[in-house]
């Protein structure tokens, strides 16, 4: 891990004053940078001192869970950077326990230029540069499956959607993508890797953010699919392209499919990746969007039941309406 200057007292004060319904209105100044299914990313502290990005994860129930997670979080970053050859930002982790007993892990990264994130870049550069951007990202992701082919005991997964990549040394005043563009992969808080076929991330952690009345259903119908899709290069790229609907750039889908299929056929034929079709992308995205709309609706119901009816704590921060 990197030697980032993390102020745990600041994090304790932030968590103490946090209202998950209004995360930007606590006693400690904070800016929401993004939302995940189990986490929210913040810049915390006074303006001008927000040089770190904190991914807040209130999903742990025991110290043993925290310690096990911290080990694989560090290991996943190390595997990506030192064995696979994918760069990650300087990172660290901090764990706190509040006076009420709530256990919260913060995955911490050096904060990057917001406009360097892929989902922002695709609204700043030309279509030609976007196609190049995706081809370069595919080149980065291919390193995962080339690594997996040569390793019997270790298999690595990745969530490759465009919002998980950031351009290094990005100049927001001169936005451009060239053949020399390089990247950071920023979504390392879900450490996806298997040792001798055994998933190292406890899959039950994914269920902590699920609506309490649907945990059995999610475990039965969806958990295995969620845990395995990130090890399939074809599905990861279908997800990458499908997310351009969510990113409000649907007119690029046909061209992106051509880019991906050309890459599979000419750059990595040895990986034998099945070509992608428009039907697959549309079907995958419709299903994915439907599932996540229902998921968010049921989580809001769960929050209402816990906070208003049962008078209990609901530690998760839910996003507002998401364009899809």
Question: What pLDDT does residue 112 have?
Answer: 96
Question: What pLDDT does residue 323 have?
Answer: 60
Q: Has residue 239 got a pLDDT over 90? A: yes
Question: What pLDDT does residue 198 have?
Answer: 93
CATH number, domain at 44? 3.30.200
Query: pLDDT digits over 73-99, tens only?
Result: 999 999 999 999 999 999 999 999 998
Q: Which residue has the higher pLDDT, 227 or 191?
A: 191
For residue 69, being part of any structural domain is answered with yes
Instruction: Record the pTM.
Output: 0.93
Query: pLDDT digits over 240-295, tens only?
Result: 999 999 999 999 999 999 999 999 999 999 999 999 999 999 999 998 888 778 88
Query: pLDDT digits over 100-129, tens only?
Result: 889 999 999 999 999 999 999 999 999 999
* Domain, as residue range, for 69: 14-110
Residues of the chain with pLDDT > 90: what percent?
69
Q: Which residue has the higher pLDDT, 29 or 216?
A: 29
Query: pLDDT digits over 13-68, tens only?
Result: 999 999 888 887 888 888 889 887 668 999 998 776 689 999 999 999 999 999 99
For residue 93, being part of any structural domain is answered with yes
Q: Has residue 324 got a pLDDT over 60? A: no
Q: Read off φ and ψ for residue 194, nearest 5 degrees.
A: -120, 145
For residue 23, being part of any structural domain is answered with yes
Q: Has residue 217 got a pLDDT over 80? A: no
For residue 55, being part of any structural domain is answered with yes
Residue the block writes with tokens 């990247």: 183
Question: What pLDDT does residue 205 have?
Answer: 85
- Number of domains, the chain: 1
Angle at 229 between CA 228 and CA 235, to 5 degrees: 155
Q: How far apart are CA 100 and CA 16, in angstroms?
A: 9
For residue 52, being part of any structural domain is answered with yes
Question: What pLDDT does residue 207 have?
Answer: 81
Q: Report the C-alpha dihedral over residues 140, 75, 242, 252, rounded to 10 degrees.
A: -30
- Per the document, the length of the chain is 324
For residue 66, being part of any structural domain is answered with yes
For residue 142, being part of any structural domain is answered with no
> Once rounded to an integer, what is the mean pLDDT over residues 301-316?
90
For residue 219, being part of any structural domain is answered with no
């Amino acid at each position: 891990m990197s030697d980032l200057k993390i102020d745990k007292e600041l994090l304790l004060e932030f968590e103490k004053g946090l209202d998950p319904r209004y995360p930007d209105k606590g006693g400690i100044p904070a800016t929401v940078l993004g939302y995940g299914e189990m986490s929210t990313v913040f810049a915390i502290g006074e303006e001008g001192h927000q040089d770190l990005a904190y991914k807040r994860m209130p999903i742990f129930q025991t110290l043993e869970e925290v310690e096990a997670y911290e080990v694989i979080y560090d290991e996943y970053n190390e595997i990506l950077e030192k064995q696979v050859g994918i760069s990650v930002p300087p990172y660290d982790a901090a764990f706190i326990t509040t006076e009420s007993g709530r256990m919260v892990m913060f995955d911490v990264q050096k904060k990057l230029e917001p406009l360097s994130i892929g989902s922002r870049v695709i609204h700043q550069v030309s279509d030609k540069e976007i196609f190049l951007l995706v081809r370069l990202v595919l080149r980065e992701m291919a390193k995962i499956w080339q690594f997996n082919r040569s390793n019997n005991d270790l298999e690595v997964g990745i969530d490759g959607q465009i919002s998980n990549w950031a351009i290094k040394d990005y100049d927001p005043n001169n936005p451009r993508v060239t053949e020399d563009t390089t990247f950071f992969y920023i979504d390392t808080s879900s450490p996806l890797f298997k040792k001798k076929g055994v998933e190292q991330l406890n899959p039950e952690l994914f269920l902590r953010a699920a609506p309490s009345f649907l945990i059995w259903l999610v475990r039965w119908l969806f958990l295995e699919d969620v845990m395995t899709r990130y090890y399939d290069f074809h599905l990861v790229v279908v997800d990458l392209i499908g997310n351009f609907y969510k990113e409000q750039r649907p007119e690029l889908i046909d061209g992106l499919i051509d880019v991906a299929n050309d890459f599979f056929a000419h750059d990595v034929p040895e990986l034998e990746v099945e070509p992608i079709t428009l039907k697959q992308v549309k079907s995958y995205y419709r299903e994915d969007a439907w599932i996540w709309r229902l998921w968010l609706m049921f989580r809001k119901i769960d929050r209402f039941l816990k906070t208003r009816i049962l008078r209990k704590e609901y530690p998760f921060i839910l996003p507002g309406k998401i364009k899809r």
